[in-house]
Structure 1
Amino acid sequence: MMVDEAIQSSAEPFAHFTMNDDERYEFHLAAWLHDCGKITSPEHVVDKAVKLETIYNRIHEIRTRFEVLHRDTEIRCLKRQLAGESSRQAETDRDLEQEELQEAFRAVANANTGGEFMSEDDIEHIRQIGQRTWVRHFSDRLGLSGDERQVLTDTPEQALPATEPLIADKPSHLRSWGEHKPPVTKDDPRNRWGFDMTLPEHAVNQGELHNLTVAKGTLTPEERFRINDHIVQTICMLDALPLPDRLANVPHLAGTHHERMDGQGYPCRLNADNMGIPERIMAVADIFEALTAVDRPYKEGKTLTESLAIMQRMVNDGHIDRAVFQLFVRSGIYRRYAEQHLRPEQIDTVNEERFLT
Structure 2
Amino acid sequence: MSVLGKLHILDQVGLEPAVIDASVVGKTDGFMYHAPRTIAESLSLLEKQPNGEFRCLLLIAPETVSRVEKELPASLQQKVAIAIVASADKIDAIGDCSKLLEEPNLIDILETPLTVTRINVLLRRAEVHFKEREHVASLHRALISQRDELQKLNEIGIALSSERDITALLELILSISMEISGSDAGSLYIVEEIPDSPFDKYNYFRNKQLRFRHSKNFSKEVPFKEFTMPISPNSIAGYAALSGKPLNLPDVYEIPEGVPYGFGGRKFDENIGYRTMSMLTVPMLNRDNQTIGVIQLINKKRDVCVRLNNADITQQVVIPFQKNDENFIYSLASQAAVAYENRRLYDSIRRLFEGFIKASVTAIESRDPTTSGHSERVAILTVGLAEVVDKTDAGTYKAVKFSRQDIQEIKYASLLHDFGKIGVREPVLVKAKKLYDHEQLAIENRYEIIRKSIALEASKQKVQSLLEKSREEALATIGAIDQASYEKIAELDDYLAFILKVNEPTILKSEGFEKLREIHAKSFGINGKEAYPYLTEQEAIRLMIPKGSLDEEERRQIESHVTHTYNFLKQIPWTNDLRNVPEIAYAHHEKLDGSGYPLKIPAEAIPVQSKMMTISDIFDALTAQDRPYKKAVPLDRALDILGFEVNASKIDAELYKIFIDAKIFDLVNQKPEG
Q: TM-score, normalised by structure 1?
A: 0.71
Q: Percent identity?
A: 27
1:124 and 2:517 are equivalent in the alignment: yes
Number of residue equivalences: 278
Match of 2:413 in 1: 30
Provide the rounded CA distance (Å) in 2 between the counterparts of 1:88 and 1:6.
75
Contact 2:419–2:565 (8 Å) recurs in 1: yes
Secondary structure at the counterpart of residue 164 of structure 1: strand
Which residue of structure 2 lines up, in the alignment, with residue 19 of structure 1?
Answer: 402
Measure, in 2, the Cα distance between the counterparts of 1:164 and 1:257: 45
User: Is the Cα contact below 8 Å between 2:633 and 2:672 reproduced in 1?
Assistant: no
Range moving further from structure 2, 86-95 or 218-227? 86-95
Report the Cα offset of residue 132 of structure 1: 0.6
Q: Once superposed, what is the RMSD of the aligned Cα atoms?
A: 2.4
* Offset from partner CA, 1:250-292 (integer Å, 9 cap, x none): 1100111111111111111112211232222111121222221
> Which 5+ residue runs of structure 2 have no aligned equivalent?
1-383
- Answer whether contact 1:47 1:296 (CA < 8 A) is retained: no
- Correspondence list, 1:42-121, <5 A: 42-53=425-436, 56-83=437-464, 84-85=468-469, 86=474, 87-115=478-506, 117-121=510-514
Structure 2 CA distance for aligned equivalents of residues 60 and 18 of structure 1:
54
Please say if residues 114 and 217 of structure 1, whose CA atoms lie closer than 8 Å, have aligned partners that are also in contact. Answer: yes
Q: In structure 2, what residue type is equivalent to 1:234? A: T
- Name the aligned partner's letter for residue 27 of structure 1: I
Per-residue Cα deviation, 1:106-134 (whole angstroms, up to 9, x for no partner): 23222222458231423322322xx3134
Q: 1:11 offset after TM fit, Å?
A: 1.0
* Residue 162 of structure 1, CA deviation: 5.8
Which residue is 2:598 aligned to? 267
The whole-number CA distance in structure 2 between the counterparts of 1:22 and 1:291 is 30
Q: SS in structure 2 opposite 1:74?
A: helix
Instruction: Find the counterpart in structure 2 of residue 227 from structure 1.
Output: 558
Mapping for residues 1-357 of structure 1, pairs under 5 Å: 1-53=384-436, 56-83=437-464, 84-85=468-469, 86=474, 87-115=478-506, 117-128=510-521, 131-135=522-526, 163-169=531-537, 207-335=538-666, 337=667, 340-343=668-671, 345=673
Instruction: Look up the SS of the partner of 1:218 in the other structure.
Output: coil
Pair 1:328–1:80, CA change in 2 (3 A): closer
Which residue number corresponds to residue 277 of structure 2?
A: none
Q: Which has the higher contact order (CA 8 A, sep 6+)?
A: 1
Question: In structure 2, the residue corresponding to 1:58 is in which secondary structure?
Answer: helix
Closer, same or farther: CA 162–3 of 1 in aligned 2, 3 Å: same
In the other structure, the counterpart of 2:160 is none
Does the 8 Å CA contact 2:461/2:481 hold for their aligned counterparts?
A: yes
Alpha-carbon distance in 1 for matches of 2:462, 2:534 = 27
Q: Relative to 1, partners in 2 of residues 1:22 and 1:216: Cα closer, same or farther, differing over 3 Å?
A: closer
Q: Which runs of 4+ in 1 moved over 6 A?
A: none
* Paired AA for residue 102 in structure 1: D
Name the SS for the 2:503 alignment partner: helix
Report if the CA contact (8 A) 1:68-1:134 is conserved. Answer: no
Structure 1 contact 30–253 (Cα < 8 Å) conserved: yes
Secondary structure of 1:226's aligned partner: helix
Secondary structure of the structure 1 residue equivalent to 2:516: helix
- In structure 1, the partner of 2:222 is none
User: CA shift at 1:217, angstroms?
Assistant: 3.1
Q: Distance in 1 between matches of 2:619 and 2:500?
A: 31
Matches of 1:98 and 1:345, distance apart in 2: 37
**In the aligned structure 1, how far is the partner of 2:665 from the partner of 2:498?**
40
Once residues 108 and 302 of structure 1 are traced to their aligned partners in structure 2, the CA distance between those partners, rounded to angstroms, is: 23
Distance 1:7 1:68, change over 3 A: same
Q: Which amino acid aligns with 1:125?
A: E
Q: Which has the larger radius of gyration?
A: 2
Gaps of 5+ in 1: 137-160, 170-206, 347-357
Answer whether contact 1:261 1:319 (CA < 8 A) is retained: yes
